[in-house]
Amino acid sequence: MFTEELRGEGMAVGTSELLDATVALGAIGWSAREDFKETLAATLAKSPEDRHVFDLVFDRFFFRAAELEAVRHAAAGHDPESDREADEVSGDGEGVDGEGEGEGDSGPPDLDAVREAIARAIADGASGQMGDLASLAIGSVGGRVNDTGVVGVDVQRIRRALDLKPEADPEAPEGDPRRDGLPREGIREFEQALRRELERRRIERLGELPPARALNQMDRALPTGAGQSLADIHRVVRQLKRRLNTQGHELRGQRRRTQVDLRATMRASLQTGGVPVVVKERAIRPRRPEIFVLCDVSTSVTSASLFFLSVLHALHDAFRKMRSFVFVERISEVTELFERERDFAKVSLAIGRDAGVADVTGYTDYGRVWREFLEQTEDDLNPRSTVIVLGDARTNGRDPAEAAFAQIAERAGRAFWLNPEPALYWDYGDSVISRYRPYCQVHECWTADQLEEFVTALTSSVVTAPAPGRPPR
């Protein structure tokens, strides 16, 4: 059953792995929770990503099992909320410092005291107290913050109410750990504790279990959130670079057969008196596509464009002949910039500063972009070239001008569109992706896997000119 949940989350768990797990458990024993979990993880989860999913599912699965039990026990009667509170303080309050414990009894605790206690715990990295403090925080903040019913939103609200920031806060009182800023790690840990606690409360309130929903896919998606560190993106892109490099080699290996170069063979045969001893072959020229990349950097894709820019940067290293453009209302060529700067941080800074793409409104104008692009690349576009568009196809109500795009696609050998939005959102609101679909291959691109798929498509040696009107993909 547990395996099925894992499979439901897209992990490939084979029967043999299941057997391994069972055998392994035989060697370990079922008693200790940590050992049990680690054993299962070692046999079932075979990559860091899988491990992440595994942890989430494991918690959900066994947490739910335990909760179900609890819900059955707590047959209707007393108010579960107050019961919980009492339980929290008397039962497992040993980790809480005296301050918190005392206040749990006397009504809603003082918010400032809680704030400080939490900040201190985070600064000290006291993970044992997190769970208790989380429940305390919900108790104290809960009244002021409306329960939205969406756990993720609640977590953020409580965090804001508690004033937890990684940045240093010079206004904080002397001696308060918040003065120097809190470790990010600690805050994240606390958020997780909050999330668990909120989920538990919700179950109690409703007296039933929420349906086992698929894990929020975004949890596993590419780090596109604005607040997330660049390091994650870099890691993905580095891998991509390496793959791009090896991909070329693979192709060369597969297509080792070549044509005989008659002229060279004849010339060589002169040495041996006209007998063609050495057969000269025509050298294989690796396919070096000329690539034109158009990248949307408007506000609607702010989080994604950061990612896109780094992808662009990676592509620049991998392909020699490549011209990059960024656009919002109009386009601006950034090829030179990429060639000059090897450092990604500087590039993105420079683009933000002097690309001059955002005019008055800051809204994407695709029609204008296509026309300008055609103008600028008129002479260079040929059937050997590939056009890649990175953008969400949200026109803000302006004319999508698919005719102009069709013209571009026709001149270029291939056209790709990478959309950073999940396919679910396509064609909702002002997204007009389907208008462009007849002219290019549209790829959903917001996870590393999808990016990889795209790279495979890009470097594949098959040159298929997308005939207008051909069904997409």
> What is the Cα–Cα distance from 309 to 322, expressed in whole angstroms?
14
**Nearest approach, Cβ of residue 42 and other proteins (Å):** 5
**Nearest approach, Cβ of residue 39 and other proteins (Å):** 7
Rg (CA), the chain: 29
**Nearest approach, Cβ of residue 20 and other proteins (Å):** 7
Angle 387-391-394 from CA coordinates, rounded to 5°: 130
Strand arrangement of the beta sheet that strand 290-296 belongs to: 331-333, 322-327, 290-296, 385-390, 414-419, 441-444
**Nearest approach, Cβ of residue 226 and other proteins (Å):** 15
The 10 Å CB-count burial string (b at 16+, else e) for 155-185 is bebbbebbebbeeeeeebeeeebbbeebeee
Q: Whose Cβ is closer to other proteins: residue 86's or residue 345's? A: 345
Helix runs in 255-387, H state only: 262-269, 302-318, 335-340, 344-354, 366-377
> What is the Cα–Cα distance from 458 to 85, expressed in whole angstroms?
57
> What is the Cα–Cα distance from 411 to 374, expressed in whole angstroms?
10
Q: Whose Cβ is closer to other proteins: residue 226's or residue 231's? A: 231
Q: Whose Cβ is closer to other proteins: residue 266's or residue 345's? A: 345
Q: Whose Cβ is closer to other proteins: residue 96's or residue 448's? A: 448
> What is the Cα–Cα distance from 7 to 13, expressed in whole angstroms?
6
State the DSSP string of 377-417.
Answer: HTTT--TTEEEEEES--B-TTS---HHHHHHHHHHSSEEEE
Q: Exposure of 409 by Cβ count < 10 A (0-12 exposed, 13-18 middle, 19+ buried)?
A: buried
**Nearest approach, Cβ of residue 375 and other proteins (Å):** 38
**Nearest approach, Cβ of residue 231 and other proteins (Å):** 4
Q: Whose Cβ is closer to other proteins: residue 300's or residue 447's? A: 447
Task: Using CB under 8 A, list all residues that contact other proteins.
Answer: 12, 14, 16-17, 20, 23-24, 27-28, 34-35, 38-39, 41-43, 45-48, 51, 125, 183-185, 229-231, 234, 239, 242-243, 246, 343
Q: Whose Cβ is closer to other proteins: residue 24's or residue 145's? A: 24
Residue matched to tokens 């683009």: 351
Q: Whose Cβ is closer to other proteins: residue 40's or residue 389's? A: 40
**Nearest approach, Cβ of residue 187 and other proteins (Å):** 13
**Nearest approach, Cβ of residue 243 and other proteins (Å):** 8
Q: What share of the chain is helix, strand, coil (3-state, %, to 5)?
A: 60, 10, 35
Side-chain-side CA neighbours of 323 within 13 Å: the count stands at: 13
Q: Whose Cβ is closer to other proteins: residue 20's or residue 261's? A: 20
